[in-house]
């Protein structure tokens, strides 16, 4: 996914001279084409994320589009106040891109996991939050983000994520939209990010058993596709939300907020998220998902429990 993002960004920067890349010494093997093509619009601030974000804000205040880019929590939590006071308060055209959402960097440990980011970023005024699930959405989200005038948080995966869209583009991709992957009436599963592969596998297995579960990628968490959520509440038997994020404040919370605000609090509802504990087990992303209750069987069982 990170490759898809960098390729699209390069294409956009070729056409738009306002695009700057502001880094903090992360991006080896991916950012070099941008750095070589646009040396005057590329700066490595060194290992200094607060400064990276402040510099990006200053660049953006002068009429440019500044992209910050780093691993997991580095460009978000390390410099949260710069994002809040500088970027969001000034509505600056800064795009904050993380590589390695959730537990993508599983074996590296919690310093490299991004598991509270959605909750924190979506609480910031003016901030748009995008969570693409595969390379199709990653490419589309890059273009949507760069065309939007204002702060955007873009939670990218890492590498080698499976394509959930069978290579088909999403013609109506938009900030505030969602992507329907499977139709169904028995229940709806919403997800965000590359964890969607477990949702696809679970929903396809359920179909074999005769359970028709609607499957929707909520690639835009803020603003969120209220219409899709309300349709799910009206038309299907219940809602399950799957995310690779702490249980509190993430995608499940965002969906629940919509349901409650719209008077649909009585719809059967279940969140599947990382429990509110520190991830201390050591292992790959796929293994950690299984260990913390987000495996394919967990996802399928959650739907079964709801529809039985």
Partner 1 sequence: MASEAKRECCSLARRIRLHCLHMVYNGKSGHIGSMLSTADIYPVLYTQVLNVDPAFPKKPDRDRFLLSKGHGGAALLACLAELGFFPLGWLNRYYCDDGKLSGHISHHVPGVEFSTGSLGHGLPVACGMALAAKQAGKTHRVFVMCSDGDLNEGSSWEAIMLAGQHRWDNLVMLVDYNRLQALGRSEDIINLDPLAPKLEMFGWRAVEADGHDFASIESALKNVPIEKGRPTAVIFHTVKGKGVSFMENEYKWHYGGLTEELLAKALKEVGEA
Task: Provide the binding-site residues for partner 1, judged by CB under 8 A.
Answer: 20, 22, 40-41, 43, 45-46, 48, 50-51, 53-64, 66, 81-82, 85-86, 89-90
Helix or strand (DSSP H, E) at 260: helix 251-261
Supply the minimum distance, in Å, between the C-beta of residue 226 and partner 1: 30
Tell me, rounded to whole angstroms, the distance of Cα 5 from its chain centroid: 13
Rank residues 93 and 104 by Cβ distance to partner 1 and give the closer one: 93
Residues 6+ apart with CB under 8 A from 263: none
CA 100, CA 89: separation in Å to the nearest integer?
Answer: 26
Supply the minimum distance, in Å, between the C-beta of residue 41 and partner 1: 7
Q: Is 183 left (phi over 0), alpha (psi -120 to 50) or beta?
A: beta
At 279 the three-state DSSP class reads coil
Supply the minimum distance, in Å, between the C-beta of residue 118 and partner 1: 24
Rank residues 94 and 164 by Cβ distance to partner 1 and give the closer one: 94
Residue closest to 115 by CA, chosen among 300, 262, 244: 244
| Integer CA distances (angstroms), 80 to 92, 126, 237, in order | 15, 14, 39
Rank residues 45 and 228 by Cβ distance to partner 1 and give the closer one: 45
Supply the minimum distance, in Å, between the C-beta of residue 75 and partner 1: 14
Supply the minimum distance, in Å, between the C-beta of residue 55 and partner 1: 4
Please classify residue 160 by burial: count the beta carbons closer than 10 Å to its beta carbon, then call 0-12 exposed, 13-18 middle and 19+ buried. Answer: exposed
Question: Can you read off the two tokens belonging to residue 286?
Answer: 């796929």
Strand 220-222 relative to strand 128-130, pairing: antiparallel
Tokens 């595969």 correspond to 134
Cis peptide leading into 223, omega within 30 of 0? yes
Supply the minimum distance, in Å, between the C-beta of residue 66 and partner 1: 7
Rank residues 61 and 258 by Cβ distance to partner 1 and give the closer one: 61
Rank residues 81 and 235 by Cβ distance to partner 1 and give the closer one: 81
Tokens 């900030």 correspond to 175
Rank residues 14 and 261 by Cβ distance to partner 1 and give the closer one: 14
Question: Can you read off the two tokens belonging to residue 150?
Answer: 């204002």
Rank residues 51 and 291 by Cβ distance to partner 1 and give the closer one: 51
Supply the minimum distance, in Å, between the C-beta of residue 145 and partner 1: 19
């Amino acid at each position: 996914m990170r490759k898809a993002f960098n390729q699209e960004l390069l294409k956009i920067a070729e056409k738009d001279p306002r695009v700057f890349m502001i880094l903090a010494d992360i991006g080896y093997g991916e950012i070099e084409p941008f750095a070589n093509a646009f040396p005057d619009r590329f700066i490595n601030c060194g290992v200094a994320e607060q400064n990276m974000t402040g510099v990006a804000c200053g660049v953006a205040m002068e009429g440019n589009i500044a992209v910050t880019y780093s691993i997991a929590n580095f460009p978000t939590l390390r410099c949260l106040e710069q994002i809040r006071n500088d970027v969001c308060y000034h509505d600056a055209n800064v795009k904050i891109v993380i590589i390695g959402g959730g537990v993508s960097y599983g074996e590296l440990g919690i310093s490299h996991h991004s598991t509270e980011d959605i909750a924190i970023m979506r609480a910031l005024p003016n901030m748009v939050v995008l969570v693409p699930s595969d390379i199709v959405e990653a490419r589309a989200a890059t273009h949507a983000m760069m065309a939007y005038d204002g702060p955007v948080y873009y939670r990218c995966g890492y590498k080698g994520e499976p394509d959930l869209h069978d290579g088909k583009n999403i013609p109506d991709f938009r900030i505030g939209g969602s992507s329907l992957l499977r139709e169904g009436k028995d229940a709806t599963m919403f997800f965000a990010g590359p964890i969607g592969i477990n949702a696809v596998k679970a929903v396809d297995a359920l179909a074999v058993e005769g359970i028709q579960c609607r499957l929707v990628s909520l690639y835009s968490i803020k603003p969120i596709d209220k219409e899709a959520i309300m349709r799910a509440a009206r038309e299907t038997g219940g809602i399950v939300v799957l995310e690779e994020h702490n249980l509190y404040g993430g995608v499940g919370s965002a969906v629940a907020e919509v349901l409650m605000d719209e008077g649909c609090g009585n719809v059967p509802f279940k969140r599947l998220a990382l429990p509110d504990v520190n991830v201390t087990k050591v292992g790959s992303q796929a293994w950690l998902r299984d260990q913390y209750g987000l495996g394919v069987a967990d996802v399928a069982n959650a739907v079964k429990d709801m529809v039985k």
